[in-house]
């Protein structure tokens, strides 16, 4: 079932938050979880008719998985009732419970909420509900993608199957929550970002600090670098961090040298080719192969770019790659190597030309045939000639 119901039996018709929620639940909750709770309260109390995990994630500037984790968190705290489809484990309905009466999932108010949800359950499943479906009691029905609401176990399996995903355990999170160094790092990063850390960002910091063993200095330099580029999206930060890990970068000094190298190389190549834009991803992959795999100096790469522009008057990375591939086979790494390679090429060309000229000269020394000699001559033996003479004498 690809829909979720928000029921408003215990929430007043104004956007109000219980003091008991603020006093007893909010201090211990993650900031992004609190945002989800507040936004859902507003949607329910205002009679919102369109809501999806995607729109909620966009509003919160979180991922869809972060929204799902927030719902699971409030369910465990007993402030939210989630009803799941028995076959797909997707959440089909939810109801917010009063913090004043809700103490645990076994309380009577919690069970009453479950009974109300059961009474409001839709008729048998439809193949695909419309994006804006209104239930009989006027609660919100939201069209969700099949991947939107899944159990935490399914999320973990999905993360494990993707090489781009990171994973942290509850034990790591619990242990680092008591680590003063990690808490200090999170505080500084929040100052860099000028906002509270999102759940995904806390998980990334946990992974980098505890799994990849990034130092405090390297983690702070990572966020300082990304903030300087105005690219603080968690996916971008993660990509930079994992790239540093693959290159065995362990200190801010190494990271500075590497980022300076790549920034200079990419901008210089783009300028040499008159692109007027940063290099695209596939173009960066070409540049990485030339520098990291073939160990070409930047001057050598620029020389290949210049020769490409002179030859075909356009930026063609395949053409540049062909030039550098030939130089790589010739063991070229510097401009001096290019000069030596060019000299060897000129020598081979001169030898080949000389051989061609020699063959042409030998042909020119042969006597030219006259027009008469160009006809096929008869090959008559002496005996045949004598025989002809006898015949002429006997006439």
Give DSSP secondary structure letters for 150-163. --HHHHHHHHHH-T
Quick count: other Cβ atoms within 10 Å of Cβ 141? Answer: 22
Contact between 147 and 57 (Cβ < 8 Å):
no
Contact between 2 and 145 (Cβ < 8 Å):
yes
**Cβ-proximal residues to 117 (8 Å cutoff; 6+ apart), any chain:** 5, 7, 81, 83, 93, 95
Bridge partners (DSSP) of residue 95 are 7, 81
Contact between 2 and 141 (Cβ < 8 Å):
no
Closest CA to 2 of 83, 72, 91, 116: 91
CA triple 262-266-269, angle to 5 deg: 140
- The runs of H, that is alpha helices, within 47-84 are 53-60, 64-76
Structure tokens at 105: 């999932």
Rounded CA gap, 224 and 363, in Å? 75
Rounded CA gap, 176 and 182, in Å? 6
Contact between 10 and 98 (Cβ < 8 Å):
yes
Structure tokens at 234: 């968690």
Contact between 284 and 266 (Cβ < 8 Å):
yes
3-state secondary structure at position 125: coil
Structure tokens at 181: 């160094």
Contact between 82 and 94 (Cβ < 8 Å):
yes
β-pair type (80-84, 91-96): antiparallel
Rounded CA gap, 222 and 258, in Å? 12
**pLDDT score at 369:** 58
> Considering the entire predicted model, what is its pTM?
0.36
Q: Is 115 exposed, middle or buried (0-12, 13-18, 19+ CB in 10 A)?
A: exposed
- DSSP annotation of 369 reads P
Q: In what order do the strands lie in the sheet with 5-7?
A: 80-84, 91-96, 5-7, 140-142, 132-134
47: left (phi over 0), alpha (psi -120 to 50) or beta: left
3-state secondary structure at position 207: helix
Structure tokens at 315: 């930026």
Closest CA to 328 of 336, 338, 319, 318: 338
**pLDDT score at 215:** 93
Residue-level pLDDT, tens digit, the chain, 395 residues: 455 655 555 444 566 888 888 888 888 888 888 888 888 888 777 766 566 676 777 777 777 778 888 888 888 888 888 777 777 666 767 778 878 764 444 444 455 555 555 554 444 444 433 333 333 333 333 333 333 333 333 333 333 333 457 888 989 988 998 899 999 999 999 999 989 998 889 999 999 999 999 999 999 999 998 888 788 889 889 988 988 888 888 999 988 887 766 667 888 898 899 887 777 778 888 888 898 788 888 899 999 999 999 999 999 999 999 999 999 998 888 888 898 888 888 888 888 887 777 766 555 656 555 555 555 556 667 787 778 777 777 76
Closest CA to 114 of 70, 156, 67, 78: 78
């Amino acid at each position: 079932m690809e829909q979720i119901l928000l029921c408003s039996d215990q929430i007043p018709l104004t956007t109000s938050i219980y003091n008991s929620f603020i006093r007893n639940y909010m201090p211990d909750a993650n900031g992004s979880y609190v945002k989800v709770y507040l936004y859902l309260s507003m949607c329910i109390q205002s009679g919102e008719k369109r809501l999806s995990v995607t729109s909620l994630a966009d509003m919160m500037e979180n991922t869809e998985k972060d929204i799902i984790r927030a719902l699971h968190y409030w369910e465990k705290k007993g402030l939210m009732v989630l009803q799941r489809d028995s076959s797909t484990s997707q959440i089909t309905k939810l109801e917010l419970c009063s913090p004043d009466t809700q103490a645990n999932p076994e309380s009577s108010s919690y069970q009453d909420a479950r009974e109300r949800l059961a009474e409001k359950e839709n008729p048998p499943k439809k193949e695909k509900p419309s994006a804006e479906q209104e239930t009989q009691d006027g609660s919100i029905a939201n069209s969700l993608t099949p991947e939107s609401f899944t159990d935490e176990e399914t999320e973990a399996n999905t993360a494990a199957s993707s090489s781009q995903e990171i994973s942290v355990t509850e034990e790591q999170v619990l242990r680092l929550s008591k680590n003063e160094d990690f808490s200090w790092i999170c505080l500084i990063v929040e100052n860099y970002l000028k906002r509270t850390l999102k759940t995904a960002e806390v998980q990334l910091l946990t992974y980098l600090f505890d799994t990849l063993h990034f130092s405090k200095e390297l983690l702070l330099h990572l966020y300082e670098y990304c903030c300087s580029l105005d690219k603080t999206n968690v996916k971008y930060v993660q990509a930079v961090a994992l790239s540093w890990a693959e290159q065995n970068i362990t200190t801010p000094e190494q990271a500075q040298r590497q980022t300076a190298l790549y920034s200079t190389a990419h901008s210089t190549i783009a300028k040499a080719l008159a692109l007027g834009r940063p290099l695209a991803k596939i173009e960066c992959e070409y540049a990485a192969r030339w520098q990291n795999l073939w160990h070409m100096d930047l001057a050598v790469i620029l020389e290949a770019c210049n020769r490409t522009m002179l030859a075909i008057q356009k930026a063609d990375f395949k053409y540049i790659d062909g030039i550098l591939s030939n130089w790589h086979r010739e063991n070229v790494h510097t401009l001096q190597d290019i000069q030596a390679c060019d000299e060897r090429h000129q020598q081979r060309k001169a030898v080949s030309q000389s051989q061609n000229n020699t063959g042409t000269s030998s042909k020119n020394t042969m006597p030219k045939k006259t027009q008469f000699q160009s006809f096929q001559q008869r090959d008559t033996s002496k005996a045949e000639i004598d025989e002809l003479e006898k015949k002429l004498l006997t006439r």
